[in-house]
Amino acid sequence: MLQSAVERQLEILGEAARRMSDNFRQAHPEIPWSDIIGQRNVIAHQYEEIRQERIWSVVTSDIPTLITQLEPLIPPLPPEIE
């Protein structure tokens, strides 16, 4: 179950990256957009290609770095939502 949940979250992350505008992606080339989207495509469509070692590496190494890169790009919530 945990493996499935992690793969699903990576799939959602990849879909969100795919939906970012080209202008936004070009403005932030430090984010590995094509890698994120490519991983999503493997998880969603090429199940036999999923490598658990790669998923583990993404989760333990790449995701913390990605969070650090993305946090400054997230606009603050309006005061009434916080």
28 among known catalytic residues: no
**Residue bearing tokens 């919530």:** 77
Identify the three-state secondary structure at position 35. helix
Distance separating alpha carbons of residues 35 and 14, to the nearest angstrom: 9
Q: Which of 18, 28, 40, 54 is catalytic?
A: 40
Side-chain half-sphere CA neighbours of 29 within 13 A? 1
45 among known catalytic residues: yes
Query: What is the DSSP code (8-state) at residue 79?
Result: T
Q: Which of 18, 45, 51, 54 is catalytic?
A: 45
Catalytic positions: 40, 45
